[in-house]
Structure formats: C-alpha cells, structure tokens
Amino acid sequence: MPDPPQVSGISELVLEVSDLEASRRFYRDVLGLEETLYGEGAEDRYWYLVADSARLGIWTEQVGLAGGRGGAHVHFAFHLPDREIDRMLGRLSDAGAEVEGPIQLGPGRAVYVTDPDGNVVEFWSQDMRDYAERARAGGPPGTLPSGGAETG
C-alpha cells in the first residue's frame, strides 16, 4: 500500500444553503460558532472558525475556486470533549432547537441538531486519535467499541 498523504485534519467544509441569513443565525447564534470574514472577498457566503484547525463555510448556490460548489451532506460532526456535551445540549435547548441525544456512541457521547437546510450537525466526544490508532492497528469492522468517554 502506498504511503498515505500527510493530512492532519479537515481544513474546511462548505455547505450550500438556501437561506443564507437563516443559516447564519443557526451557526453563529444557535451553535455559537465564531464568524469570520478574514481573507474573504466574495459575497453570499460566511465562514466560521472551528477551533484553530478548520473553518466551515455556508454559501448560497455559486461556484467557488476550481469549480467547487457547496454540497448536500447527510451529516458532519464536530468534536467536543465529553464534559462539553451537556453544555452544548443546554445551549441548543435554550435556543429552541430540536435536539436528539445525548446518546452513547462507541466510547463517546453525541448530540444531533438539524440546520435550516436539513443538514444534520453532530457534536461527538469520540477521540479520533484513539479511533485512528485502533483502525491502523487492524481493528475489525463493526460497531465502535464501548468504553470510557474522552475527558480531554
């Protein structure tokens, strides 16, 4: 097998949205993500910082660099330490969002909320470093192993 690329994470994810202001209120006000326009010159799009390693874009229908468009997604997940899952659940509930969870999902817990365009946003405490280590060690397919949730 060839050496995998030295990718260390996801830098950005872009969602195509039908109502930019409704999505902006959801990601900025309901979820509390930090909005930024740093380095951005295009209209009809907003960016949100995801920790110090990634950004999430919301765009109206348009074509970006290299012919890229936002996509329709089943769901995506943000990592949160397990101790933050209940705080996120409270934040979403206080904002009137319909939330599923928390549920135990493998060694972590997860909560789910749907954005105005039907994208399911997950907040999950699964430690992906541990997951990658187990996967590379030849872990079998199937259900994620249960165990203590990450506390970091």
Residue 51 has pLDDT above 90, yes or no: no
**H helices then E strands: how many in the chain?**
3, 8
Provide the pLDDT confidence category of residue 20 given band limits of 50, 70 and 90: very high
- What's 141's domain CATH number? 3.10.180.10
Q: Do residues 84 and 126 share a domain? A: yes
Q: Do residues 104 and 54 share a domain? A: no
Q: Do residues 55 and 101 share a domain? A: no
Instruction: Tell me which of 19-23, 85-89, 123-127 is least confident.
Output: 123-127
CA distance 133 to 139: 9
pLDDT digit string, tens, across residues 84-123: 999 999 999 999 999 999 999 878 898 989 899 888 888 9
Residue span of the structural domain in which 136 resides? 73-152
pTM greater than 0.85 (yes/no) = no
